[in-house]
Chains A and B, each alone.
Chain A
Amino acid sequence: DAGITQSPRHKVTETGTPVTLRCHQTENHRYMYWYRQDPGHGLRLIHYSYGVKDTDKGEVSDGYSVSRSKTEDFLLTLESATSSQTSVYFCAIRDISYEQYFGPGTRLTVT
C-alpha cells in the first residue's frame, strides 16, 4: 500500500467528543491529503498539506482541522464530532507525477 498507514482503522465515538485520525507515510512525499467518502458523493477533499506546517482547506473542511509537524505524519482532528461526520476517511500521498496513493481508510461512526 505504498508505505502509507492509517490509525485507527475503526472508531466509534459519541457526539461532541474530539477525535484525531493519524496518517503515517514512509515515502517522504511532500503532499498529503485527507478525504472522506460517503455514498453518492465519491471522495471529497477535507484538507491537504504541501509540507511541514503548510496546510490548506479542501471543499468540506468545516468542522475539521489538521496538523503536520513532521513529513511523515498528517493528523486530522474533529474538534467536536457530529453525526454528519460519520464516514470513511482516507489519507493519500502524492508523488511528483500527480498520482496519489491511498491508505486503507478509517471507518468512523459518531453516535
Chain B
Amino acid sequence: SQQGEEDPQALSIQEGENATMNCSYKTSINNLQWYRQNSGRGLVHLILIRSNEREKHSGRLRVTLDTSKKSSSLLITASRAADTASYFCATVNFGNEKLTFGTGTRLTIIP
C-alpha cells in the first residue's frame, strides 16, 4: 500500500520557471524524503525532512512539511532541462526501518 501520494502525476513547465510537487501521506511519520529518478536509472536521494521540521533547503530545492495536514511539498526553483525526471516522496514511520514510496510525479522541463 502506498503511504505517500504525489500530486500532480505529471507536470510540464518552461525552463526557468519554478516547479512544485505535493505529497500526502496517511499515518504519523518519523521523516519524509524526496528522491529523483532519471529515466532508466536508480533513485537518487534529494532531501530528508524530519517530523519536527517545517522547512528545509538544499540548493534550488525547498521542502516543506505540514504534519497536521499530513502533507509535504517540493519546490524546485529556476528549473533546468536537467531537472527532467520523476520525483518520489517516501516516508519512514516511527519504529520502522522501511521507506514507503508514493507513485511519483513526472516532471518535464521544456527548453
A residues sitting closer than 8 Å to B (CB atoms) are 1, 31, 33, 35, 40-45, 48, 50, 58-59, 90, 92, 94, 97-105
B99–A45 CB distance below 8 A: yes
Q: Does B41 contact A (CB under 8 A)?
A: yes
B30–A42 CB distance below 8 A: no
Contacts A42-B88, A42-B104, A99-B33 given: A48-B98 contact, CB under 8 Å? yes
Seed contacts A100-B99, A104-B42; 16 additional CB < 8 Å A-B pairs = A1-B42, A35-B101, A41-B103, A42-B88, A42-B104, A48-B97, A50-B97, A90-B42, A92-B43, A97-B48, A98-B48, A99-B33, A99-B45, A100-B45, A102-B42, A103-B42
Contacts A59-B1, A103-B42, A105-B41 given: A43-B48 contact, CB under 8 Å? no
* Residues on the A chain within 8 Å of B45, using CB: 99-101
Using a Cβ cutoff of 8 Å, how many contacts connect chains A and B? 55
* Residues on the B chain within 8 Å of A103, using CB: 42
Q: Does B92 contact A (CB under 8 A)?
A: yes
Number of residues on chain B facing chain A (CB within 8 A): 23
Chain A interface, DSSP helix/strand/loop, else mixed: strand
* Residues on the B chain within 8 Å of A50, using CB: 97
Closest 3 CB pairs of A and B: A102-B42, A42-B103, A43-B101
A102–B98 CB distance below 8 A: no
Contacts A42-B2, A48-B98, A105-B41 given: A98-B30 contact, CB under 8 Å? yes
Cβ contacts A to B, 15 pairs, < 8 Å: A1-B42, A40-B103, A42-B102, A44-B101, A45-B98, A59-B1, A98-B31, A98-B33, A99-B33, A99-B45, A99-B48, A100-B99, A104-B41, A104-B42, A105-B42
